[in-house]
Chains A and B, each alone.
Chain A
Amino acid sequence: MTAFTVRRTATAILVGDRPPHPERTMLVEARGALLYWDALDLRAHPAAEVFDARAAGDWLWEVYGPEALTGAGTMATEWESPVLDAARNLAFLHWAGVWWPASHAAGIPALPAGLLRAETAWYTAGLEHLLDDDTAVERALAEVDLGTLVSYPEAADLAAGIADLADSYGVALRDTARLRPEDWALAAGGAEEGLAVASGSAPIDWSLVPARTLDAAGEAAWRFEHRSGAWVLHVAAPAAPDAAPAALTAVVDTVEIPLRLDSGTGTFTGEAPAPPDFAMRLGGGRPIQVQAPGYAADRSEDRAERRAALIAFARDRLASPDATLTERAAA
């Protein structure tokens, strides 16, 4: 039984609440309503913001059941339907595509991106009659590469289903055969080290960087060192398993250091000459932050706990009997 309070505002009917943080939010953009599940408070049915009751009236019954939402103030439902299942899976895959906390440090493997895209397309097609975007299936199929599915025997049915969808929607699927990505061994050291006179580190804030870049449980570290007659700031931030290259910037004190993915070591690294007065201000440990343009810092107090909770959630999912094909392939 899922129970929600139902409230009306000037522009919407609110069923339950939005999850409190973006990284907990599993979203489906439906016609006339947003549906969301909270990763840290998973229920059978989604909360919703119905902003166009006329459009949503056509399909809301498939999510909550025809009898639900009849009482004022609250609603309770035990409705089950294939559409509800598809919506829950799609919401999960949307979340996993961007917030899955892949981490060497925490032992959370990356999700296989090709399989994730294919499964996303499959559930998108299962919901096409109620999605806001009337080209959602075509868009999702355009992301799929059939070649990435060949190394997963368990995905044979999915691959056949996707090929049939592509025929029905007139999308030419990419098919570049590729091998299953190997997990890197964590390489040690590497670059020449100078004489470090100061160093520091801080947990990575993953709300500041795009998906599939940094290790969700990693720490970014800086080192202030003297090398070949010059003072340099060296920064290293561990990459997520199966990370994609990205232009990240580390900020240590007032110094900005561009970082590059070194796939040999699985680390985003960078160096910059330290300004002459840097050494003067070394007392009291400099903070380090790794960021990408357009991402706002999450300053809330509980972000470390939230991150730990999401890592625990991901770990549970990998062992869960109702995990998606994508997760089972990763585990």
Chain B
Amino acid sequence: MVHGLAASAAVPRGMLVADAWSQLGDAVAPLSNASGRPLARTVKLLLDPLVLRPAQNPRFSGGVVAIEHVDALRNAILDAGPALAATAAWFQLLKRARRRAGVTEGHPQDLYFQRCYELAHVHGDPAALPGAAEIAAEAVAEVHAERGEVSVDGLRRFLTDPARSAELAGLLHDAWSQRPEPAAAEPHPGVAAFLDDCATAPDPRLWRALADAAVGTAEAASLDRPGVALGYGLTGRDRPAAPELGERASKRKLPKPFDRSIMERLFAAFTAWFQRESMADIPALVTGEIRRSAAPWQLAEEPSRVAMALGRDASAGLGADEPPEAASDANARLLNRWRRESYVHRVLRLPDPSAMGWEVRGTRRAYMRRLWVRLHGRELRGEATAADEVWDLLDGALRSVVMDQRDRLKRSLEREGDRS
């Protein structure tokens, strides 16, 4: 295989999975793309967590699989063939039920794949099952009912209930007045070390050590100094201040993260992600958010705070006229993505945003905001971040900022056209 990309006694995992998958035939087509490969979410939501389970089977983890485990991996997928075929058949039924019920919310693969896998285990192949269509309709109704309980309306009612507002305002006041005095600390050498390896060989022990040493909390100490959080783009104020509880929120005009009301913080997460079944109920969400707002980086979990500190360092120089020399491998990779983007702009015949008077120097601030929003969302959904997910998170935030910028450029061209 690709010279130097893989050890010779190993095979790319993607190749093994594709090969085994193709032997499952047309029965799994609903879980495949038009090239016959498993969908990205088929791998992420079904094959990895339910069939290959790399956490339990380290021999199946990583980008390459050693020669001696090739047959075992293939057999694991082939053994799951009937269950996957039934899952695929259920997915077709759930999609149909969803369409019939007029549901448009959320991503069908995210919402139904694992549910379909359960149905496949409980009922087998739906083709042979009388009443399968009803079961599918119930499953769709259930998924959306679970999500309906924690609704934006419910949130608004809870936050604006006069009987509760004094209590909530008190909680907010206490949380902010009892914030511990931030202790300044020397920069931890582990931050740079982790950034050097996180894209290629993330070290889980170092990742845990950074959280155990509360490095994220220590790195948040400077945020209360005038202009620091402002410089990161996390607030429009000179220093962060306690948020409002808030009464309304609109997707279009969300303030910067630290300036968002409690309502706006939860609202943003509700509308951006459709996995409310993994969220707590409303009272717990609100009190949790109040506490979170007063915490370092305004995030509740230490690993999220470490990730903010990592993102801050990894994004240094993004959008600068002349970026400084990269301070770490992760920093170099993000700067490279940014440089590639201006090449891609020319290939896609998009105008140069800096020549259009756009504030590209704000890219790093946009990056910090996007990263915060993603970490905040992960906290609300109760998703832990493992060492080998950190790079995807750091890189994914920049990709998302860059793609949004492309969309805005395209839209501005169309608008110019309409105006003329």
- A, B bound: yes
Which residues does A use to contact B, with CB under 8 Å?
Answer: 6, 11, 13, 22-23, 25, 27, 29, 34, 50-54, 56-62, 64, 66-72, 81-83, 86, 94, 98-99, 122-123, 125-129, 132-135, 139, 161, 167-170, 172, 207, 210-211, 244-248, 258, 260-261, 292-296
Whether, in the assembled complex, B163 has its beta carbon less than 8 Å from a beta carbon of chain A, the answer is no
Contacts of B4 in A (CB 8 A): 13, 53
- B30 near A82 with CB under 8 A, answer no
How far is A246 from B2 in the complex, measured between Cα atoms in Å? 46
Cα of A50 to Cα of B14 in the assembled complex, Å: 17
Q: Are B355 and A66 in contact (CB under 8 A)?
A: no
A34, A245, A293: the one within 8 Å of B356 (CB): A293
Q: In the complex, what's the smallest C-beta–C-beta distance from B59 to chain A, in angstroms? A: 17
Min C-beta distance of B339 to chain A, whole Å: 10
- Interface-lining segment among B104-112, B171-179, B283-291: B104-112
User: Contacts A167-B99, A293-B355 known; A129 to B33 CB distance under 8 Å?
Assistant: yes
Q: A57-B2, A98-B349 are in contact. Are A247 and B420 (CB under 8 A)?
A: yes
| A245–B420 CA distance with the chains assembled, in angstroms | 7
Further contacts, 10 of them, CB under 8 A, given A168-B95, A211-B349, A246-B416: A13-B5, A62-B14, A66-B12, A69-B1, A170-B107, A245-B417, A247-B416, A247-B420, A292-B416, A293-B356
B355 partner, pick from A56, A133, A161, A296, beta carbons under 8 A: A296
Indicate if the CB atoms of B403 and A294 lie closer than 8 Å: no
Q: Which residues of B contact A60 (CB under 8 A)?
A: 2, 5, 12
Establish whether residues A210 and B5, one from each chain, have CB atoms under 8 Å apart when the complex forms.
no
Among B38-46, B221-229, B232-240, B311-319, the stretch in contact with A: B38-46
Rounded to whole angstroms, the CA-CA distance of A230 and B271 in the bound complex is: 59
Residues of B within 8 A of A6 (CB): 3
A-B contacts, 24 listed (Cβ < 8 Å): A13-B5, A23-B349, A51-B333, A53-B4, A57-B12, A61-B1, A61-B2, A61-B15, A62-B37, A69-B1, A70-B2, A126-B33, A126-B35, A127-B33, A127-B35, A128-B33, A129-B39, A133-B399, A139-B407, A169-B109, A244-B417, A246-B416, A247-B417, A295-B351
Instruction: List A contacts of B396 (CB < 8 A).
Output: 134
A83 to chain B, nearest CB (A): 5
Interface set, chain B 368-420, CB cutoff 8 A to A: 396, 399, 403, 407, 413-414, 416-420
- Check if A210 sits within 8 Å of B351, measured CB to CB: yes
Mask: chain B, 316-359; 1 = CB below 8 Å from A; 0 = not: 00000000000000001100100010001011111111011000
A61-B351 in contact (CB<8A): no
Q: How far is the CB of B186 from chain A (nearest CB, A)?
A: 30
A261–B414 Cα distance when bound, in Å, is: 13
Closest to A84 in B: B35
Residue of B14, B38, B108, B416 touching A167 (CB-CB under 8 A): B108
Of B199, B333, B348, B399, the contact of A94 (CB 8 Å cutoff): B348
Number of A-B residue pairs having CB atoms within 8 Å of each other in the complex: 169
Contact B40–A129 (Cβ < 8 Å): yes
Nearest 4 pairs of A and B residues by beta carbon: A294-B351, A58-B14, A126-B34, A98-B349
B40: A residues at CB distance < 8 A: 128-129, 134
- Whether B38 lies near A129 (C-beta < 8 A) is yes
Q: Which residues in B have their C-beta under 8 angstroms from that of A293?
A: 351, 355-356
- Residue B64, interface by CB 8 Å: yes
B-side contacts of A69, CB under 8 Å: 1-3, 5
**Nearest CB in chain B: distance from A52 CB, A:** 7
CB distance from A219 to the nearest CB of B (A): 21
Known: A57-B2, A292-B351. A82 touches B12 (CB 8 A): no
| Contact B39–A128 (Cβ < 8 Å) | yes
Asked if residues B356 and A170 are in contact (CB atoms below 8 Å), the reply is: no
Q: Which parts of B41-96 form the interface with A (CB within 8 Å)?
A: 43, 63-64, 95
Query: Shortest distance in angstroms between A215's beta carbon and chain B's nearest beta carbon?
Result: 16
In the assembled complex, which residues on chain A have CB atoms less than 8 Å from the CB atom of B231? none
Contact residues in B for A86 (Cβ distance below 8 Å) = 34-35
Chain A residue contacts of B333, Cβ below 8 A? 51-52
| A168: B residues at CB distance < 8 A | 30, 95, 108-109
Report chain B residues within 8 Å CB of A210.
349, 351, 413
CB A89 to nearest CB in B, in angstroms, measures: 11
B127 at the binding interface (Cβ < 8 Å): no
B197-211 Cβ-contact flags toward A at 8 Å (1 or 0)? 001100000000000
Q: Whose C-beta in chain A lies nearest to the C-beta of B326?
A: A11
**In the complex, what's the smallest C-beta–C-beta distance from A28 to chain B, in angstroms?**
11
**Judging by beta carbons under 8 Å apart, are B109 and A246 in contact?**
no
Centre residue among A29, A170, A210, A295 by max chain B CB count within 10 A: A170
**In the assembled complex, B255 has its CB within 8 A of some CB on chain A:** no
Which residues does chain B contribute within 8 Å of A71, judged by CB atoms? 3
Contacting pair B416 A72 (CB below 8 A): no
Closest to A61 in B: B15
Within 8 Å by CB of B5, from A56, A72, A94, A129, lies A56
In B1-47, which residues have CB < 8 Å from any A CB? 1-6, 11-15, 18, 30, 33-40, 43
Question: CB < 8 Å: which of A83, A122, A139, A294 contacts B353?
Answer: A294
What is the chain B residue whose CB lies nearest that of A6?
Answer: B3
Chain B neighbourhood of A172, CB < 8 A: 104
Distance of A247 Cα from B416 Cα, bound (Å): 6
A294 partner residues in chain B, CB cutoff 8 A? 350-353, 355-356
Chain A nearest CB: distance from B419 CB in Å? 7
- The answer on a CB contact under 8 Å between A129 and B12 is no
Is the Cβ of A57 less than 8 Å from the Cβ of B5? yes
Chain A residues within 8 Å of B13, by CB: 58
**A246 near B417: Cβ-Cβ < 8 Å:** yes
Report if A58-B348 is in contact (Cβ < 8 Å); known contacts: A86-B35, A129-B38, A133-B403. no
Residue of A nearest to B63 (CB): A57
B30 / chain A contacts, CB cutoff of 8 Å: 168
Residues of B with C-beta under 8 A to A170: 104-109
A76 to chain B, nearest CB (A): 13
**A11 and B108 contact, Cβ closer than 8 Å, known pairs A125-B33, A126-B35:** no
Question: Which one of B11, B18, B355, B403 lies within 8 Å of A139 (CB-CB)?
Answer: B403
Residues of A within 8 A of B344 (CB): 27, 29, 34
Query: Are the C-beta atoms of A99 and B418 separated by less than 8 Å?
Result: no
Give complex CA distance A246, B418 in Å.
7
Question: Does the CB pair A167–B107 fall under 8 Å?
Answer: no
Instruction: Report yes or no: B37 in contact with A57, Cβ–Cβ below 8 A.
Output: no
Which chain A residues border B399 with CB–CB below 8 Å?
A: 132-133
